[in-house]
Amino acid sequence: MRLSMRRGGRRSVGVLVAGALVAGSLPAVAEAAPPTVDWTACKPGAAQQCGKLTVPLDWSKPGGAKTELLVARIPAKDQAHKVGVLAFNPGGPGGAGASIIAEGYADQLFPQWRDKFDIVSWDPRGTGGSTQLDCGTILRPGVPVFPRSKAQYDAMVASSRAFGEQCLKQHGDLLRNLDTRAAARDLDALRAALGVNKLNYFGPSYGSFVGTTYAQLFPHRINRMVLDGILDHAAGPTTLMLTEARQMEYGFNRFAAWCKSAPSCALHGRDVGKVYDEVVRKADKKPLPGTPYVKVSGDTIRMSLPVFIPAIGDYVTPWTELAAALAAAEKGDGSGFIGRSYVGDPESAYAAVSCLDFPPGLTSYADAKARLALAKALAPRVGAAVEGWAITAACSGWPIPPTNPWQPTPVDDAPPILIAGNTHDPSTPLESARGLHRQLRGSHLMVTDVYGHTSWFNSECARTRITKYLETGVMPPERPRCS
């Protein structure tokens, strides 16, 4: 899932959910010279190094068409005592890790690793500086996201199909080769180009699924691996939606309690839940003005919750912005939700990868209605206003069959993998971490008693324990838990 830094104000820090086929499931690739990268400074005088990595567009046809990936690295400060190469994927789908390094954010995000690791990443195909995928808006403003009738359901499905068909027309085979197995194989090509036999890897949020897939495909290419903020590919669309809904409701209530006590909250001292309900009700009846060209519907406001409610430690604390947006919307101004909602989101690769890996499996309006009712029963205020439903809506009419659909990702012969999960993570609930822990033989589960998305970005204790594991291979103790 996305790290919340992807959107709106979070872009200033950069971009921070089919089991994978086992390695033998694709046709054998003939022995060939390892790929190469011509490394140059990303910017004049910069320590960061960038380059282009050429990989097969379709990994089942290694001799066929190619695609280019932007890759980047920043060498360890202490080369004499370097532990090795540490690769990371910042989440998404569609997180552009090479662009993060190129812009100089490694020191800000991972200062603990800068001395002893060469930090490397790539912009996954379709994103950032790699071969681009740009098909327009995922969830189009004015199209129902939470259908209340068969006609609205049909409109949602038709919009999804039109988006997919337009994307297919523009990008063809690139769109068909964007699933997470391709991303994992691209990562291994980067490993080979770096000339190392084994990688260390950190994967937060959706990056945890990239890492799980890599571990299944290339278990003997792992040195140490940390998966944080887990997406369990065995969960299925309904379970994912419901576990997220429970934690998102908790997060909203936490936000409302914060508003009561925080003078910086624009709704300080008020019943925030009632304000939210009334704003959404009015926007359902008559969309609010947002920009001269875009109106803000109730669905737009609902689908801002997965953007505003999760917190990412000191990097992103969007509750002040949510309160201000609600206060303005109460007065008729919906502009605070523009660019901060899944409705109107232009990041095409996010939807394209999601539809190949996390198909909604909707069969009818009755099916959608039943799922929405389950979410509303579990989370009376938030309902299905979660990322899992955003994917379901966006992919409801997708014209390309899923290439990597929901299924377990068992890993039996990789080194011990560290799995991290928070007790209250609105984006990737702890249930997913527990589920993945059962699938990865020999893995170690570290539970962090904090609120927010991922352990690394919300707990100094977790950062300390993760760093020690990456440097030494020593797993964290089960007790006491981090907080």
Q: What is the pLDDT of residue 67?
A: 97
Mean pLDDT, to the nearest integer, of 35-60? 97
Q: What is the pLDDT of residue 31?
A: 52
Q: What is the pLDDT of residue 33?
A: 77
**Residue 37 covered by a domain:** no
**Residue 421 covered by a domain:** no
Lowest mean pLDDT among 27-36, 159-168, 170-179, 412-421: 27-36
267-293 pLDDT, tens digit each: 999 999 999 999 999 999 999 999 988
pLDDT of 469 strictly over 80: yes
Lowest mean pLDDT among 308-322, 354-368, 426-440: 308-322
pLDDT of 61 strictly over 70: yes
Q: What is the pLDDT of residue 34?
A: 84
Mean pLDDT, to the nearest integer, of 324-344? 97
**Residue 294 covered by a domain:** yes
What is the CA angle 382-387-388, rounded to 5? 100
**Residue 329 covered by a domain:** yes
Would you list the DSSP string of 243-304? Answer: HHHHHHHHHHHHHHHHHHH-TTSTTTTS-HHHHHHHHHHHHHHSPEE-SSS-EE-HHHHHTT
Contact by Cβ (8 Å): 393, 145 = yes
202-237 pLDDT, tens digit each: 999 999 999 999 999 999 999 999 999 999 999 999
CA–CA distance from 311 to each of 144, 410, 454, 466 (Å)? 27, 30, 9, 20
Residue 14: band (very low, low, confident or very high) from pLDDT cuts 50, 70, 90: very low
Question: What does pLDDT average to over the chain?
Answer: 92
Domain that holds residue 285: 150-172+237-394
Q: What is the pLDDT of residue 440?
A: 98
**Residue 193 covered by a domain:** no
Number of structural domains the chain divides into: 1
CA–CA distance from 39 to each of 113, 121, 134, 191, 428 (Å)? 21, 13, 27, 14, 35
Indicate the pTM of the whole model: 0.94
**Residue 285 covered by a domain:** yes
- Residue 248 phi, psi dihedral angles, 5° rounding: -70, -35
Residue 168: band (very low, low, confident or very high) from pLDDT cuts 50, 70, 90: very high
**Residue 68 covered by a domain:** no
**Residue 52 covered by a domain:** no
Q: Tokens 């590919």 correspond to what residue? A: 233
95-147 pLDDT, tens digit each: 999 999 999 999 999 999 999 999 999 999 999 999 989 998 889 999 999 99
Q: What percent of the chain has pLDDT over 90?
A: 89
Q: What is the pLDDT of residue 11?
A: 34
Q: What is the pLDDT of residue 313?
A: 74
CA–CA distance from 200 to each of 88, 92, 187, 417 (Å)? 9, 20, 12, 11
